[in-house]
Amino acid sequence: MQTYFNGLADHLTSQLTGDEVHTCSFDGEDSDFVRFNQGEVRQAGSVVQRCLSVDLIDGMRHAGGSVTLSGDEGEDTQRLTALVKRLREKLPHLPEDPHLLYATEVNSSERHSANELPAPEQSLGQIRAAAAGRDLVGIYASGAIGSGFANSLGQRNWFDTSNYNFDWSFYHQADKAVKSSYAGVTWDEAAFQQKIDTAGKQLEALKRAPVTIPAGGYRVYLAPAAVYDMVGLLSWGGFGLKSHRTRQTPLLKMISGEAKLADSVTIRENTAEGIAANFQGSGFIRPDSVTLIDGGEYGDCLISPRSAKEYGVATNGASSSESPESVDLGAGDLPSGEMITQLDKGIYVGNVHYLNYSDRSACRTTGMTRFATFWVEGGEVQAPLNVMRFDETMYRVLGENLVGLTAEREMILDSDTYFGRSTGSGRMPGALVEDFQFTL
């Protein structure tokens, strides 16, 4: 992929005239997908795709477009030549962009990840064995992902990763299922079996008669998957410079000094240990780490090139969305294996869904429990809990009502496949929280 991309970037440079400059970004994947239902392989296939996005720049005017690549050099260079011609025709009719900023200092890089993916007979064989006697439903995705950046100034950046993501559920009946995932770059049979054993125990508990409890405040344990979703919602505008300067951030009370999170909460954009590229579409390099929340206090913003130009500050290589792609919540000191005992009496929340803000400026979120959520008494799971809606502020969940975070964290890879396999990830602990408010 890399050599092919570099050749196309050189061809784009040869098409420029006058003072034109180009930037281009490459996204590609060689992925295998396997769909499971009732514990058996029901569909298998592969996806090979390549896409090149181009921005043609002349002074402060620029126009962008993209092409899907065929892999045939002659055909692809013709497509790019035609694209440059169309973009050039648009430029005189476009206004100057006062916030245009792209890298002009050449800063090339390469980052390769070793391909240590399991052989299909290893991973799929263990999945089928684990599903014996159970209705396992899920998608297994595996393969290489590549990203590149180039410009006509001579900069070349490349990143590739090989990973797998198995997103699955043990289905019981109706809306009752235990959801789990296992993802990474190397397949650990013992770690996967532990996931299966845990889900199997939850499946047996799920077969008990469900209970309904009244609305109110309860002690809860949020499993890492639930914490990942909640921190993900916080990332919608929570850490970007643009949302801060326009006062649209859900962390408005934090940056104004009215509220804070617990001292034990530190959140980073941890690019060095994630699976996302360490550069972005305008050619700026991302630092290994950006501390977004530092000991409960607001740290640094994610700053895209456009925001940097608009507000007169330096960019730190954030994407246009200014959202973390490798989000990392620091570990606590509570042992994961003792969390049910630590919970004592309350609610074990494995997953959440339908998350949204009920009061954005107050960082108040609403959502629903999903799949394996259990009522716990005496440190023992008693019964599955019928679906409930919650409404809470992150200042309480990760602030005043946070009892603690687990010492062990889980690496969670985003399972989205819109347009292509996602390179988003999170490293999350579980969280024990007091007086978590359920509204119905």
293-341 per-position pLDDT tens digit = 999 999 999 999 999 999 999 999 999 999 999 999 999 999 999 999 9
pLDDT of 246 higher than 90: yes
Identity of the amino acid at 402: L
pLDDT of 175 higher than 90: no
pLDDT 10s digits, 105-142: 999 999 999 999 999 999 999 999 999 999 999 999 99
Predicted local confidence at residue 2, as pLDDT: 95
pLDDT of 372 higher than 90: no
Q: Where are the domains of the chain?
A: 2-195, 216-438
Predicted local confidence at residue 19, as pLDDT: 96
pLDDT 10s digits, 220-242: 999 999 999 999 999 999 999 99
Q: pTM here?
A: 0.95
Predicted local confidence at residue 118, as pLDDT: 93
Homologous superfamily assigned to 2-195: PmbA/TldD superfamily (3.30.2290.10)
pLDDT of 371 higher than 90: no
pLDDT of 174 higher than 90: no
